[in-house]
Structure 1
Amino acid sequence: MKRFRLGVIINPLAGLGGSVGLKGSDGVAEQAIAKGATPRAQQRMQQALDVILPFAHQIDIITASGDMGGKLCRQMGFTTQDVYISAVSSGANSTSALDTQQAVKCLFGHHLDLLLFAGGDGTARDIYAVVDDSFPVLGVPAGVKIHSGVYGITPHASGVVVSMLLQGELVSLMSADVMDIDEVAFRLGIVKAKQFGEMTVPAAPRYIQAVKMGGKEVDELVLADIAADVIESMEDELYIMGSGSTVAAVMEDLDLDNTLLGIDVIQHKSVIAKDVTAQQLLALTADKTKFSSVKLVITLIGGQGHILGRGNQQLSPELIRQIEKDNILILATKTKLKALEGRPLIVDSGDPELDKALTGYYKIVTGYHDYVMYQVANPDLVEN
Structure 2
Amino acid sequence: MKDRIIGLIVNPLAGVGGKLGFKGSDGAYGIRALMMGADLVAPRRARVFLESLDNELAGKGMEVRLLLPPGRMGESVAREAGRLRAVKVEAVPCVDPRIWPTTAHDTIRCARTIENEVDLLVFAGGDGTARDILNAVDMRLPVLGIPSGVKVYSGVFAVNPRSAARVVTAFLEGRVRLEERPVVDVDEEEFRRDRLVLRTFGKLLVPVAEGVVESTKTLAGGEGLEDIARFFAEELYRDCTLYILGPGRTVARIAEYLGVRKTLLGVDAVHNKKLVGKDLDEKAIIELIEKHPRTVIVLSPIGGQGFILGRGNQQLSPRVVRKVGKEGIVVVSDPEKLRSLGRLRVDTGDDDVDRMMRGYIRVLIGYGKWKMVRIE
Which TM-score bucket, shorter chain as reference?
Answer: over 0.9
> Partner of 1:370 in structure 2?
369
Deviation at 1:229, TM superposition (A): 2.1
Letter paired with 1:373: M
Is residue 128 of structure 2 the alignment partner of residue 119 of structure 1? no
- The alignment partner of 1:84 has SS state of coil
| Kept after mapping to 2: 8 A contact 1:224/1:253 | no
Q: Partners in 1 of 2:48 and 2:250 — Cα distance?
A: 31
1:80 is matched with: 89
* Between 52-61 and 323-332, the greater mean CA deviation after superposition: 52-61
Deviations 1:208-267 (A, max 9, x none): 11111136x443xx2121112222222222111000111001011122121111100111
Alpha-carbon distance in 1 for matches of 2:318, 2:374: 20
Q: Which residue of 1 aligns with 2:11?
A: 11
8 Å CA contact retained: 1:20, 1:36? no
Asked if 1:255 corresponds to 2:256, the answer is: no
Percent identical among aligned pairs is 38
Please say if residues 265 and 272 of structure 1, whose CA atoms lie closer than 8 Å, have aligned partners that are also in contact. Answer: yes
Tell me, in whole angstroms, the C-alpha distance in 1 between the residues paired with 2:150 and 2:305. Answer: 15
CA RMSD of aligned residues (A): 1.5
Give the counterpart of 2:243 among 222, 239, 242: 239
Look up the SS of the partner of 1:79 in the other structure. Answer: strand
Amino acid of the residue matched to residue 228 of structure 1? Answer: R
Within the candidate set 150, 155, 168, 2:161 is matched to 155
In the alignment, is the contact (CA less than 8 A) between 2:48 and 2:162 conserved in 1? yes
* Corresponding position: 1:100 with 2:101: no
- 2:252–2:261 Cα contact (<8 Å) kept: no
1 CA distance for matches of 2:16 and 2:49?
19
- Give 2:265's aligned amino acid: L
Task: Please say if residues 47 and 80 of structure 2, whose CA atoms lie closer than 8 Å, have aligned partners that are also in contact.
Answer: no
Q: Which residue of structure 2 aligns with residue 329 of structure 1?
A: 330
User: How far off is 1:169 after superposition?
Assistant: 4.6
Which residue of structure 2 aligns with residue 380 of structure 1? none
| Alpha-carbon distance in 2 for matches of 1:354, 1:85 | 37
Which amino acid is the alignment partner of residue 340 of structure 2?
A: A
TM-score, length of structure 2 as denominator length:
0.93
* Count of aligned residue pairs for this structure pair: 365
The aligned runs of 1:1-384 (5 Å cut-off) are 2-27=2-27, 28-54=29-55, 55=57, 58-76=63-81, 77=84, 78-87=87-96, 89-90=97-98, 92-110=99-117, 112-166=118-172, 168-214=173-219, 217-219=221-223, 222-231=224-233, 232-235=235-238, 236-287=240-291, 291-340=292-341, 342=342, 344-377=343-376
What is the one-letter code of the residue matched to 1:187? R
Kindly provide the amino acid, as one letter, of the partner of residue 105 in structure 1: R
Structure-2 separation of matches of 1:128 and 1:361: 37
Cα shift readout 1:74-101 (whole Å, capped 9, x = no counterpart): 33234211113434x23x3310010001
1:165 alignment partner, SS class: helix
Deviation at 1:179, TM superposition (A): 1.1
Following the alignment from structure 1 to structure 2, what is the Cα–Cα distance between the partners of residues 249 and 10?
38
Relative to the length of structure 1, the TM-score reads 0.91
- Runs of 4+ in structure 1 deviating by more than 4 angstroms, as ranges, are none
Deviation, 1:143, is: 0.5
Would you say the 8 A contact 1:51–1:163 is kept in 2? no
- Native 8 Å contact 1:26 1:122 kept in 2: yes
The unaligned stretches of length 5 or more in structure 2 are none
Residue type of the alignment partner of 2:354: D
- Note the C-alpha offset of 1:286: 2.2
User: Equivalents in 2 of 1:10, 1:243: separation in Å?
Assistant: 27
Quote the offset at 1:338 in angstroms.
0.8
Give the Cα separation in 2 of the matches to 1:34 and 1:75.
23
